[in-house]
């Protein structure tokens, strides 16, 4: 698992916005080279439990 950080320019926007993704990648060693065979990413979400 890795954390990817980037500044992203969305269509129709004039300024970039920070984006943080939690990423999982699966690699395979093939013919002397590491290749990414699967990549999954989702937004980092701070989960907070409701106050009783």
Q: What is the pLDDT of residue 47?
A: 64
Residue 52 has what pLDDT? Answer: 75
Distance CA 34, CA 38 (A): 12
User: What are the tens digits of pLDDT across the range 5-20?
Assistant: 999 999 999 999 999 9
Give the residue among 31, 44, 17 at the shortest CA–CA distance from 9.
17
In this predicted structure, the answer to whether residue 46 has a pLDDT above a threshold of 80 is no
Reported for 3-12, long-range contacts at CB under 8 A and 24+ positions apart, including other chains, are 3/44, 4/41
């Amino acid at each position: 698992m890795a954390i990817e950080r980037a500044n992203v320019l969305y269509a129709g926007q004039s300024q970039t916005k920070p984006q943080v993704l939690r990423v999982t990648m699966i690699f395979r060693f093939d013919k002397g080279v590491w290749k990414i065979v699967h990549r999954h990413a989702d937004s980092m979400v701070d989960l907070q439990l409701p106050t009783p």
